[in-house]
C-alpha cells in the first residue's frame, strides 16, 4: 500500500499527541482537584464560577463531536442547509439563559436536574425523566467516544479502538481527579483552542482552495448541496432545533453549570456562550463543501471534516485539526461524565439507596461512578454500531419530550406531575414511532409536539397551583 | 476518591499497554505497507455495492467487497453501458466504502475503474421527498418553536417583574 494510504499523520505521531495531551490534562485535573474538600466542591465547583469561565464552559461544552464532526457531516449530506441548520442549535444555549436564571432562583442549593423533577413533579415523572436522561447521556457519551476513534482513524489511520480508548481514559482521568472545577477550567483552555483553531483552518482553506472552484465543482457534480429547496434538509431543520433544545433543557450537564455559576452570572453566561457558538458550525460545516473539489469522498460522512482539513493543511494542519477536535471532544466528554455521575450519585444513590451517606462517602461514590461510566461507555463503543449522526438523532426522540415539562415546570404552577410524566413517556414513544416509521428528521419534532399537547391539556385541566416553597429541600448528609 | 498515586500508575500502565498494542488487523496482508505488484487484486475481482432502495436524501454509500490495494476511481454515468462518463471520483485510501452526496433526482450508474479494467455496474435511483411533505414539517416545526420562544420570553418577564 503505497499509493492509496493518504493519512496526514503517521500512527506514531497520532499516538504521541494522544499521550502528550493525556498526561497534560490529567496532571492539570489533579492540580485543580486539590481544592475540592466537599462533595459540593467536587460536583458544583463550590457554586462560585465567574462570567469568563462560565461563558467559556457553556460554549466549549456545546462545541463537541456535534460541531466538529457532525456539522461537516450534515453539510456534506444536506449542503448549505446542513451547516446553517446546525448553527441554530445555538438557540438551545440562548433560550436556556432565562431558564438558568430561574433555576438558580428556585433552587439556590439544588444539585441536579433530577432534583428539580423529583421535587416539582414527584416520583413517576422522576422515573421517566431519569430514564430519558440516562439513555441520552449514554448516547452522547458513546458518540463522543466513537468520535475520538473516528478522529484518530481519519487523521492517522490508527485503529478506531485505540483512539476511542485513549480519549475515554484521558477524560475519565482528569474528571476523576478534578471534578467540575477541572472540567470548567479545562473547558476554558479548550474553548480558546477551539476558537483560534477553527478560525485558522477556515481562513487557510478559503485562501488555498478558492470559493469559486468549490462553487464550480459542487454546482456541476453535487448540485443538491447548494439547493435551497432540498426536501430532506428542510425537514431536518426544526427537528434539529428541538433536539438541541431538548438536549440542553433537560441535561444535568447544563443544570449543574447553572447551579455552579456565581450569583446572577448564569443568564449572561449562557447568552454569551450561545452567541459565541453560533458561527462555529458554519465554519466547520463549510470545510465539508470543499471535499469534492479536493477529491475527498470519505468512507463515512462523519469523517469528512478532519479529512478535508488535513488534506489542505498537510501534516502541520493535521496536528492543528487533531488538537482542536480533541479539545472539543474532551470538553464535552468530561462535562458529561461529571454531570451524569452527579446524577447517579445524587439522584439514585443518595436519594434512593443510601440517604444517610456522609459527604466524604458521596464524594468517593461520585469518583467510582465516573470510572464506571467510562468503562461502560468503552464497552458499548467497541463495536462502532452506528454513524454519529444516526446515534444522535435517535436520542432526539427522548430529549425533545422534556422541553415543555421543564419549561412549564419552572414557571407554570398549574402543571402537575401526572401530566408531566405522561408527556415525557408518550412524547418519547411518539418520537420513536416517527423515527422508525417516517425517518430521523421527525423524531424530535413529533416527540416535542405530542409532549406539548399533553402539557397544554394538563395546564388547562388543573385547578390547583404548585407551592414553589416545596423546591427548598433540607439536606440529610453530614 | 481512590489513592491518586496508585491511580496515576495504573492509568499510565493502561495507557501504555493499550496505545502501544497494534490491532491484529494491522498485521494482515491487506494492511501491509509494502505490497508487490503481484499482490494487487485484479479489478474484475472487486465487487461494487450500493444502496438497495431508492435514495431519498441525495447521499449514499458505495462499498467494495475488499479494501482496495491500489489507486482506483469510481466512474459515474447516466447510461448503464457507460457510453459517456459524467464524472469520476477518487477512492480515498484503503477504506472499503465511500460516501457520495448532493445528487438530484435521477438514475445514476457507477463502476470501479483501475489501470487494469472495470468492475460490475450498479444502479442508484435518487428520488427526493416531495416538497409538500418537507414544508408541512417545516411549518409545523416553526409554529411549535414560536410557541416555545414566546412562552419562555413571556414567563421570564412575568416572573422577573414579580421578583423585582
pLDDT band at A65 (very low <50, low <70, confident <90, very high): low
How would DSSP label each residue in A295-357?
A: T---SSGGGHHHHHHHHHHHHHHHHHHHHHHHHHHHHHHHHHHHHHHHHIIIIIIIIII-TT-
Nine-digit cell at A368?
Answer: 467510582
- Residues A71-95: what's their mean pLDDT? 89
Nine-digit cell at B74?
Answer: 469510481
As a whole-number percent, the residues of chain A with pLDDT over 90 amount to 22
Query: How big is chain B by its Cα radius of gyration, in Å?
Result: 27
Cβ–Cβ below 8 Å for A169 and B15? yes
Nearest to A42 by CA among A187, A176, A180, A173: A180
What's the CA gap between A94 and A90, in Å, rounded?
6
Nine-digit cell at A215?
Answer: 462553487
Which of A405-414, A448-457, B43-52, B57-66 bottoms out in mean pLDDT, i.e. has the lowest?
B43-52
pLDDT tens per residue across span A320-329: 777 877 777 7
Per-domain residue ranges of chain A = 11-390
Cβ–Cβ below 8 Å for B59 and A76? yes
Is pLDDT of A100 > 50?
A: yes
What's the CA gap between A175 and B11, in Å, rounded?
13
Is pLDDT of A110 > 70?
A: yes
Which residues are within 8 A (CB) of A130 and not within 5 positions of it... i.e. 6 or more apart? A114, A117, A343, A347, A348
- DSSP class of B15: H
Q: Which of A2, A3, A4, A413 is best to mutate for the B interface (most B CBs within 10 A)?
A: A4
pLDDT tens per residue across span A30-62: 887 777 777 777 777 777 777 888 887 787 777
Which of A2-11, A77-86, A354-363, A430-439 bottoms out in mean pLDDT, i.e. has the lowest?
A2-11
For chain B, what is the largest distance between any 2 Cα atoms, rounded to a whole number of angstroms?
82
Can you give the pLDDT at residue A302? 79
A382 near B CB under 8 A: no
Which of A94-98, A153-157, A245-249, B14-18 bottoms out in mean pLDDT, i.e. has the lowest?
B14-18
What's the CA gap between A116 and B71, in Å, rounded?
58
Phi, psi for B28 (deg, rounded to 5): -75, 155
Cβ–Cβ below 8 Å for A297 and B71? no
Can you give the pLDDT at residue B59? 92
Can you give the pLDDT at residue B30? 39
Nine-digit cell at A289?
Answer: 463543501
What are the residues facing B121 on neighbouring strands?
Answer: B111
pLDDT band at A200 (very low <50, low <70, confident <90, very high): confident
Can you give the pLDDT at residue A381? 84
Nine-digit cell at A80?
Answer: 448549505
What's the CA gap between A88 and A100, in Å, rounded?
19
- Residues A155-160: what's their mean pLDDT? 79
Nearest to A176 by CA among A359, A26, A6: A26
Can you give the pLDDT at residue B41? 52
Three-state DSSP at B86 gives strand
Q: First vs last Cα of chain A: how many Å apart?
A: 64
CA A405 to chain centre: 20
Among B31, B93, B99, the residue with its CB nearest the CB of A6 is B93
Which of A189-193, A461-465, A466-470 bottoms out in mean pLDDT, i.e. has the lowest?
A189-193
Torsion, Cα of A197, A201, A202, A205 (10° steps): 170
- Total residues found in chain A within this entry: 478
Q: Which residue of B has its CA nearest to A163?
A: B19
Among A4, A173, A292, the residue with its CB nearest the CB of B93 is A4
Nearest to B110 by CA among B79, B132, B155: B79
Nearest to B137 by CA among A89, A240, A224, A398: A240
CA A202 to chain centre: 23
Which of A41-55, A96-110, A151-165, A344-358 bottoms out in mean pLDDT, i.e. has the lowest?
A41-55
Q: First vs last Cα of chain B: how many Å apart?
A: 43
Please provide the average confidence, as pLDDT, over all residues in chain A: 84
Which residues are within 8 A (CB) of A209 and not within 5 positions of it... i.e. 6 or more apart? A290, A293, A294, A312
- pLDDT beneath 50: ranges in chain B: 1, 17-40
pLDDT tens per residue across span A114-136: 989 999 999 999 999 999 998 88
Contact call for residues A276 and A55 (beta carbons, < 8 A): yes
Residue with cell 449572561: A268
Calculate helix-pair angle for A80-87, A231-250, nearest 10 degrees. 20
Which of A266-270, A322-326, A365-369, A390-394 bottoms out in mean pLDDT, i.e. has the lowest?
A390-394
Among A364, A410, A448, the residue with its CB nearest the CB of B1 is A364
Cβ–Cβ below 8 Å for B101 and A241? no
Contacts of B110 in chain A (CB under 8 A): none
Contacts of A224 in chain B (CB under 8 A): 58, 101-104, 128
pLDDT tens per residue across span A228-264: 889 988 988 898 899 999 999 998 888 988 888 887 8
Of A41-55, A165-179, A433-447, give the range with the top mean pLDDT.
A433-447
Domain B39-126 class in CATH: mainly beta
Three-state DSSP at A262 gives coil
Three-state DSSP at A105 gives helix
Q: Which residues 71-90 of B are in CB contact (within 8 Å) with A?
A: 71-72, 74, 86-87, 89-90
What's the CA gap between A109 and A351, in Å, rounded?
15
Is pLDDT of A336 > 90?
A: no
ipTM of the complex in this document: 0.82
> For the domain with range A11-390, which CATH number is right: 1.10.8.50, 1.20.1730.10, 3.20.20.140, 3.10.20.600?
1.20.1730.10
Residue with cell 452527579: A342
Cβ–Cβ below 8 Å for B138 and A237? yes
Nine-digit cell at B26?
Answer: 494491522
CA A389 to chain centre: 13
pLDDT tens per residue across span A6-24: 566 777 888 888 888 888 8
CA distances from A75 to A31, A444, B29 (A): 40, 20, 36
pLDDT band at A178 (very low <50, low <70, confident <90, very high): confident
Can you give the pLDDT at residue B22? 39
Amino acid at each position: 500500500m503505497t499509493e492509496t494510504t493518504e493519512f496526514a499523520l503517521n500512527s506514531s505521531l497520532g499516538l504521541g499527541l494522544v499521550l502528550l495531551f493525556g498526561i497534560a490534562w490529567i496532571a492539570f485535573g489533579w492540580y485543580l482537584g486539590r481544592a475540592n474538600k466537599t462533595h459540593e466542591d467536587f460536583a458544583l465547583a463550590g457554586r462560585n464560577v465567574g462570567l469568563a469561565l462560565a461563558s467559556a464552559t457553556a460554549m466549549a461544552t456545546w462545541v463537541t463531536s456535534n460541531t466538529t464532526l457532525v456539522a461537516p457531516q450534515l453539510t456534506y449530506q444536506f449542503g448549505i442547509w446542513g451547516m446553517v441548520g446546525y448553527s441554530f442549535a445555538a438557540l438551545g444555549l440562548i433560550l436556556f439563559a432565562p431558564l438558568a436564571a430561574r433555576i438558580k432562583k428556585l433552587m439556590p442549593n439544588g444539585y441536579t436536574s433530577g432534583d428539580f423533577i423529583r421535587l416539582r413533579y414527584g416520583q413517576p415523572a422522576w422515573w421517566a425523566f431519569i430514564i430519558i436522561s440516562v439513555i441520552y447521556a449514554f448516547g452522547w457519551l458513546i458518540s463522543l467516544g466513537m468520535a475520538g476513534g473516528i478522529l484518530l482513524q481519519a487523521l492517522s489511520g490508527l485503529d478506531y479502538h485505540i483512539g476511542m480508548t485513549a480519549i475515554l481514559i484521558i477524560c475519565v482521568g482528569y474528571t476523576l481527579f478534578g471534578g467540575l472545577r477541572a472540567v470548567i477550567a479545562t473547558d476554558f483552555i479548550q474553548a480558546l483552542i477551539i476558537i483560534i483553531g477553527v478560525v485558522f483552518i477556515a481562513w487557510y482553506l478559503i485562501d488555498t482552495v478558492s470559493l469559486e472552484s468549490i462553487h464550480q465543482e459542487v454546482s456541476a457534480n453535487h448540485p443538491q448541496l447548494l439547493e435551497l429547496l432540498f426536501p430532506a434538509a428542510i425537514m431536518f431543520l426544526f427537528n434539529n432545533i428541538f433536539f438541541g433544545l431538548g438536549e440542553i433543557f433537560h441535561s444535568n450537564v447544563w443544570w449543574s453549570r447553572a447551579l455552579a455559576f456565581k450569583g446572577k452570572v448564569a443568564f449572561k453566561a449562557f447568552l454569551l456562550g450561545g452567541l459565541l457558538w453560533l458561527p462555529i458550525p458554519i465554519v466547520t460545516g463549510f470545510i465539508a463543501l470543499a471535499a469534492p473539489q479536493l477529491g475527498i469522498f470519505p468512507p463515512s460522512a462523519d469523517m469528512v471534516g478532519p479529512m478535508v482539513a488535513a488534506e489542505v493543511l498537510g501534516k502541520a494542519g493535521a496536528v492543528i485539526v487533531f488538537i482542536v477536535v480533541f479539545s472539543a471532544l474532551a470538553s464535552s466528554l468530561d462535562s458529561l461524565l461529571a454531570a451524569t455521575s452527579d446524577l447517579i450519585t445524587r439522584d439514585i444513590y443518595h436519594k434512593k439507596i443510601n440517604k444517610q451517606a456522609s459527604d466524604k462517602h458521596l464524594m468517593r461514590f461520585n469518583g467510582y461512578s465516573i470510572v464506571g461510566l467510562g468503562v461502560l461507555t468503552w464497552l458499548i463503543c467497541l463495536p462502532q454500531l452506528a454513524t454519529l449522526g444516526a446515534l444522535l438523532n435517535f436520542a432526539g426522540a427522548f430529549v425533545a419530550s422534556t422541553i415543555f415539562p421543564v419549561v412549564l415546570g419552572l414557571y407554570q404552577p398549574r402543571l402537575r406531575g401526572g401530566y408531566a410524566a405522561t408527556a415525557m413517556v408518550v412524547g418519547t414513544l411518539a418520537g420513536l414511532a416517527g423515527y422508525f416509521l417516517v425517518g430521523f428528521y421527525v423524531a424530535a419534532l413529533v416527540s416535542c409536539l405530542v409532549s406539548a399537547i399533553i402539557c397544554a391539556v394538563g395546564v388547562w385541566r388543573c385547578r390547583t397551583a404548585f407551592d414553589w416553597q416545596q423546591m427548598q429541600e433540607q439536606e440529610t448528609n453530614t | 476518591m481512590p489513592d491518586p498515586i496508585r491511580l496515576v500508575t495504573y492509568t499510565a500502565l493502561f495507557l501504555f499497554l493499550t496505545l502501544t498494542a497494534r490491532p491484529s488487523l494491522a498485521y494482515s496482508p491487506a494492511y501491509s505497507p509494502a505490497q508487490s505488484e503481484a499482490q494487487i487484486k485484479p479489478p474484475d475481482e472487486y465487487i461494487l455495492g450500493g444502496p438497495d432502495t431508492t435514495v431519498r436524501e441525495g447521499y449514499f454509500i458505495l462499498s467494495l467487497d475488499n479494501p482496495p490495494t491500489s489507486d482506483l476511481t469510481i466512474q459515474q454515468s447516466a447510461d448503464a453501458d457507460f457510453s459517456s462518463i459524467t464524472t469520476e471520483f477518487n477512492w480515498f485510501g484503503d477504506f472499503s466504502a465511500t460516501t457520495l452526496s448532493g445528487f438530484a433526482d435521477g438514475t445514476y450508474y457507477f463502476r470501479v475503474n483501475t489501470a487494469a479494467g472495470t468492475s460490475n455496474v450498479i444502479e442508484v435511483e435518487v428520488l427526493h421527498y416531495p416538497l409538500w411533505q418537507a414544508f408541512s414539517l417545516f411549518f409545523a416545526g416553526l409554529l411549535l418553536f414560536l410557541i416555545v420562544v414566546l412562552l419562555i420570553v413571556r414567563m421570564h418577564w412575568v416572573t422577573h417583574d414579580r421578583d423585582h
